[in-house]
A and B are shown apart, each in its own frame.
Chain A
Amino acid sequence: MSQADGALAADGRVLIVGASLAGLRAAESLRKEGFRGRLTLVGDEPHEPYDRPPLSKQVLTGRVASGSTALPQAGGLDAEWRLGVPAVGLDRAAKRVVLADGDELDFDRLLIATGTRARPWPNPAEAALDGVITLRGRDDTELLRRELTAAPRRVLVIGAGFTGSEIASACRELGLPVTVTERAATPLAGALGATIGAVAARIQREHGVDLRCGVGVTALEGDDEGHVRRARLDDGSTLDVDVAVVALGAQRNTEWLRGSGLGAGPRGVACDAGCRVFDMYGIVTDHIFAAGDVARSPHPLFGYEFLALEHWSNAVEQADVAAHNMVHAEAERRPYLHVPTFWSFQFGVGIKSVGVPSLAEEVVITQGSTDERRFVALYGQRGRTVAAVTFDQGKWLEFYLDQIERAAPFPPQFRTVGQPPSPRVLPTEFPDPALPTEAPMIVRTGHSPTERAWTLVPARGGRR
Chain B
Amino acid sequence: MTDQTTDNGGLFAQILDYANRADPYPLFAELRKTPVSRAPNGSYVISTYREITALMHDPRVGTGSTSGGSFITMDPPEHDRLRRLATSHFEQTAVVRPDILRGATDLIDRLRGRTQIDLVDDFAYPLPVTIICRQLGVPEEDEPRFHPWADAIIATLDPRPGESQEAAARAMAEMNQYLAELVERFRMEPGTGLLSGLAAEERLSTEDVVATGRLLLIAGHETTVNLITNGMLTLLRHPDVLDRLRHEPDLAVPLVEELLRYEPPVQIDPKYTMLDDVEVGDVLIPKGSRIVLALAAANRDPTRFPDPDRFDPDRTDNQHLGFFTGIHYCFGAGLARHEAQVALTELARRLAGPRLLEDPPPYRPNPTLRGPRHLPIQIDEIT
B17 at interface by CB-CB < 8 Å: no
B77/A399 in contact, CB under 8 A: no
Given contacts A367-B59, A415-B60, 8 further A-B contacts (CB under 8 A): A395-B329, A396-B326, A398-B54, A398-B57, A399-B58, A416-B60, A416-B276, A417-B76
**Nearest chain B residue, comparing its CB with the CB of A372:** B77
B:330-373 near A, CB below 8 Å: none
Between-chain CB contacts (< 8 Å), 27 pairs: A366-B59, A367-B59, A367-B76, A368-B76, A368-B77, A369-B77, A374-B77, A376-B59, A393-B76, A395-B326, A395-B327, A396-B57, A396-B59, A397-B57, A399-B58, A399-B59, A402-B54, A414-B276, A415-B275, A415-B276, A415-B287, A416-B60, A416-B275, A418-B59, A418-B76, A418-B77, A418-B80
B-contact 0/1 string along A408-446, CB 8 Å cutoff: 000000111110000000000000000000000000000
B-binding residues in A (CB < 8 A) = 366-369, 372, 374, 376, 393, 395-399, 402, 414-418
Number of interface residues of B (CB under 8 A): 18
B264 at interface by CB-CB < 8 Å: no
Indicate whether A395 sits within 8 Å of B275 (C-beta atoms), given known contacts A372-B77, A417-B76: no
Most A CB within 10 A of own CB, among B53, B76, B287, B326: B76
B75 at interface by CB-CB < 8 Å: yes
Contacts of A366 in B (CB 8 A): 59
A398 CA / B329 CA spacing, docked (Å): 15
Most B CB within 10 A of own CB, among A376, A399, A402: A399
**Nearest chain B residue, comparing its CB with the CB of A366:** B59
Contacts of A417 in B (CB 8 A): 59-62, 75-76, 275
B276/A399 in contact, CB under 8 A: no
Indicate whether A418 sits within 8 Å of B75 (C-beta atoms), given known contacts A396-B57, A396-B59, A399-B58: yes
A-binding residues in B (CB < 8 A) = 53-54, 57-62, 75-77, 80, 275-276, 287, 326-327, 329
- Within the complex, what minimum Cβ distance (angstroms) separates B177 from chain A? 31
A369 CA / B57 CA spacing, docked (Å): 19
Contacts of B61 in A (CB 8 A): 417
A368 CA / B59 CA spacing, docked (Å): 11
Contacts of A369 in B (CB 8 A): 77
Contacts of A415 in B (CB 8 A): 60, 275-276, 287
A374/B59 in contact, CB under 8 A: no
Most A CB within 10 A of own CB, among B57, B326, B329: B57
Contacts of B53 in A (CB 8 A): 398
**Nearest chain B residue, comparing its CB with the CB of A396:** B59
A287 CA / B80 CA spacing, docked (Å): 52
A417 CA / B56 CA spacing, docked (Å): 12
**Nearest chain A residue, comparing its CB with the CB of B277:** A414
A416/B80 in contact, CB under 8 A: no
Most B CB within 10 A of own CB, among A393, A402, A417: A417
The 5 closest A-B pairs by CB, nearest first: A416-B59, A418-B76, A417-B62, A417-B75, A398-B57
Contacts of B54 in A (CB 8 A): 398-399, 402
A399 CA / B278 CA spacing, docked (Å): 12
Contacts of A367 in B (CB 8 A): 59, 76
B80/A374 in contact, CB under 8 A: yes
A393 CA / B80 CA spacing, docked (Å): 9
Contacts of B326 in A (CB 8 A): 395-396
Contacts of B75 in A (CB 8 A): 417-418
Contacts of B58 in A (CB 8 A): 399
A416 CA / B59 CA spacing, docked (Å): 5
A399 CA / B58 CA spacing, docked (Å): 5
Contacts of B276 in A (CB 8 A): 414-416
Contacts of B77 in A (CB 8 A): 368-369, 372, 374, 418
Contacts of A372 in B (CB 8 A): 77
Most A CB within 10 A of own CB, among B54, B59, B76, B276: B59
**Nearest chain A residue, comparing its CB with the CB of B81:** A372
A368 CA / B287 CA spacing, docked (Å): 21
B275/A399 in contact, CB under 8 A: no
A396 CA / B62 CA spacing, docked (Å): 12
**Nearest chain B residue, comparing its CB with the CB of A414:** B276
B76/A399 in contact, CB under 8 A: no
**Nearest chain B residue, comparing its CB with the CB of A418:** B76
A399 CA / B55 CA spacing, docked (Å): 8
- Within the complex, what minimum Cβ distance (angstroms) separates B106 from chain A? 36
Contacts of B76 in A (CB 8 A): 367-368, 393, 417-418
A186 CA / B180 CA spacing, docked (Å): 47
A289 CA / B22 CA spacing, docked (Å): 56
- Within the complex, what minimum Cβ distance (angstroms) separates B280 from chain A? 12
A374 CA / B53 CA spacing, docked (Å): 23
B80/A414 in contact, CB under 8 A: no
- Within the complex, what minimum Cβ distance (angstroms) separates A53 from chain B? 22
A415 CA / B59 CA spacing, docked (Å): 8
A12 CA / B327 CA spacing, docked (Å): 49
**Nearest chain B residue, comparing its CB with the CB of A374:** B80
A395 CA / B77 CA spacing, docked (Å): 13
A395/B57 in contact, CB under 8 A: yes
**Nearest chain A residue, comparing its CB with the CB of B77:** A418
Contacts of B275 in A (CB 8 A): 415-417
Contacts of B62 in A (CB 8 A): 416-417
A369 CA / B276 CA spacing, docked (Å): 21
